Amino acid sequence: MSVSLRALVTGGGGFIGSHLCRRLLADGCTVTCIDNFASGLRRNIAGLLDDPSFRLIEQDVSAEPLPDDLQADRYYHLASPASPNPHTPRSYMALPLETALVNSVGLRNVLELARRRGGRVLFASTSEVYGDPHEHPQREEYWGNVSSTGPRSCYDEAKRFGEALCMIFVRSYDVDVRLIRIFNTYGPNMDPEDGRMLPNFITQALSNQALTIYGDGQFTRSLCYVQDLVEGVLAVMESSRSDAAGRVYNLGNPEEHTILEYAKLVLELIPANRSRITHMPPVPDDPSRRRPDITRAKSELGWEPRVALRKGIETTINYFREVTAVS
């Protein structure tokens, strides 16, 4: 990557976005972060604010067109709530309209700026576009099994529309847009109140509460450590393939475990806790299996996850200990 690149990251205060901002700065880029902190956290970028190569703009990227002075060489559109838990205020279930708009109107604003001023765009889509999949593991060619009217549709249908919007700009306006489908990711800078599986398990174990499993615990997930994910994001953005524009890549870890297995691992890694596991009714529209086929990313980009699950969860637990102690 050229050290002179200008990068714009929407959602740069979020979990993945904050790690991406740090990595871009470390690579010598100048970084503009746009975030209204609807789901991001200010503490995630607190250490970046004094860096002269970092600029924060507090703005809803969906509210109005982006001005031309935000021209960049690389646009990363990561802005969006991502947690499905309806009981947390920063989840897409709690912010359904905002979620639909940031993945449509907000994305269009980024694409229009790139169309006017030039630059390469990466859209962070999601494995949720596969819905509750009939194909396992999921390949990029799979069209998915998604409910357009279900409780999660504000997120997964918005991401599907976002992908279609990107392809319009690729085919009609010759904008260089790359697409990634992010599978379950974890690591430091996750919100302890995020409401997703791993933050719930860790915070419950640290406070000696029962670990809550929705359903019988036999649903599966595949967790990718955030630093591995960021490496994949950069590999897609900087790919020199002639067909890179409009090409979709799954980014995730194909190592699949049941939710019950993840709960038991957390209890093993926090030995001082006295927690037990309790079961609650299953969540509507919750996918029963989730595992990426990363053959394309591995063969075309040379990318695959490298951080072992146990090591990644240990690091995440240590982070949660720190932030919960401070708060």
d(CA 201, CA 209) in angstroms, rounded, equals: 9
DSSP result, 69-104: GG--SEEEE--S-----TTSTTSTTTSHHHHHHHTT
Comparing C-alpha atoms, which of 21, 67, 14 is closest to residue 37?
14
Helix (H) or strand (E) holding 23: helix 15-26
**Three-class SS state of 266:** helix
Q: Is residue 76 among the annotated active site residues?
A: no
Task: Name residue, tokens 């509507």.
Answer: 284
d(CA 54, CA 71) in angstroms, rounded, equals: 15
Catalytic residue among 155, 186, 249, 262: 155
The count of other CB atoms within 10 Å of the CB of residue 257 is 15
**Chain centroid, CA 171 distance in Å:** 26
The count of other CB atoms within 10 Å of the CB of residue 8 is 27
Residue 220 phi, psi dihedral angles, 5° rounding: -120, 155
**Annotated active-site positions, please?**
155
